[in-house]
Amino acid sequence: MGLLNFTREPVPEAVSGDMHNLNQLSAQQFSALTEVLFRFLTEPKEVERFLAQLSDFATMNKISLGPLKNIVKSILLVPNGALKRNLSSEQVRADFIALGLSEEKASYFAEQWKVNSPTLTRLAVGQTLMINQLIDMEWKFGVTAGSSELEKVGSIFLQLKLVIKKGSQLENVYVELTLPQFYSFLHEMERVKTSLESFS
C-alpha cells in the first residue's frame, strides 16, 4: 500500500477486510450507508440517532450489526483524517482506492465528501480551542439615588454581567462602568469589529 493522504500512521489490519465487505454492497446500499455516515459527521452530537440508523440499515439489508460497526469505523478513518489535513476530494478518492474500495464507490464517497466539506470544515473550526470564551452578556443600568456619604447623588451607572466559559464551567463576571467608560468601550468594540472584518 502506497503512502496515504489522510494519515501517516499504518492503517489497522482489519481495514482491507472491511473494504472488501463494502465492495460486496450494491450501489444503492452503499449510497444509503454513505448518507447515514455523512448525517452523523455533520451532526456529531446525534450519536443515538446514528446508532439507530445503523441498526435499521443492518436489519433491512440482512447484515449483522457487529461487522457493520467495524466497517463503519474503518470508513470513518478517512473523512476524519481528511478533515484534519484539508484534503481535496481527489485525495479522498485516491485513499479509498488505495485501501481497496472499488473505484465506483470511492468516487461516489469522494463526491459526497466534496458536497459536505464546507459544513464539516465549519464544524471543525468551531471546535477549535477558545480561551475564556464569552458566552453571554446581560446588563442593567440605573441611577444611584443616594448613599451613606452623599444624600442625593443622581449618577448613572451601567452594570454588565458577562458569562464566561472557563474550561468546562461557566463563570459570571460582574462589572460596573461609568457612562464615559461605556462610550469608550463601545467605541473600542466598534474598532475591533472593523479589524475583524478586514481579516475575514
Partner 1 sequence: QLVSALHNLTRHVVYRGLARAEDILCLFPENFHQNLKNLLTKIILENISAWRNEAQASQISLPRLVDMDWRVDIKTSSDSIARMAVPTCLLQLKIQEDAALCGNDPVVSALTVELSKETLDTMLEGLGRIRDQLSAVANK
What does the binding site for partner 1 look like in residue numbers (CB under 8 A)? 83-86, 121, 124-125, 127-134, 137, 139, 141, 144, 147-153, 155-159, 162, 164, 173-177, 179, 181-186, 188-190, 192-193, 195-197, 199-200
Query: Of 59 and 155, which CB lies nearer to partner 1 in the complex structure?
Result: 155
Query: Of 60 and 145, which CB lies nearer to partner 1 in the complex structure?
Result: 145
Query: What is the residue-wise DSSP string for 120-188?
Result: HHHHHHHTS--SSEEEEEEEEEEEE---SS-S---EEEEEEEEEEEETTEEEEEEEEE-HHHHHHHHHH
100 phi/psi in degrees, rounded to 5? 115, 5
Grid look-up 440508523 returns 53
Query: Of 55 and 133, which CB lies nearer to partner 1 in the complex structure?
Result: 133
Is the Cα torsion angle 128, 195, 174, 163 positive or negative in sign? Answer: negative
Nearest approach in angstroms of CB 94 to partner 1 is 18
Grid look-up 444503492 returns 28
C-alpha span between 167 and 162 (Å, rounded) = 16
Nearest approach in angstroms of CB 66 to partner 1 is 29
Pairing of strands 169-177, 133-144: unpaired
Nearest approach in angstroms of CB 104 to partner 1 is 29
Nearest approach in angstroms of CB 113 to partner 1 is 15
Nearest approach in angstroms of CB 45 to partner 1 is 15
Which residues, in sequence order, are CB contacts of 119 under 8 Å at separation 6+?
Answer: 42
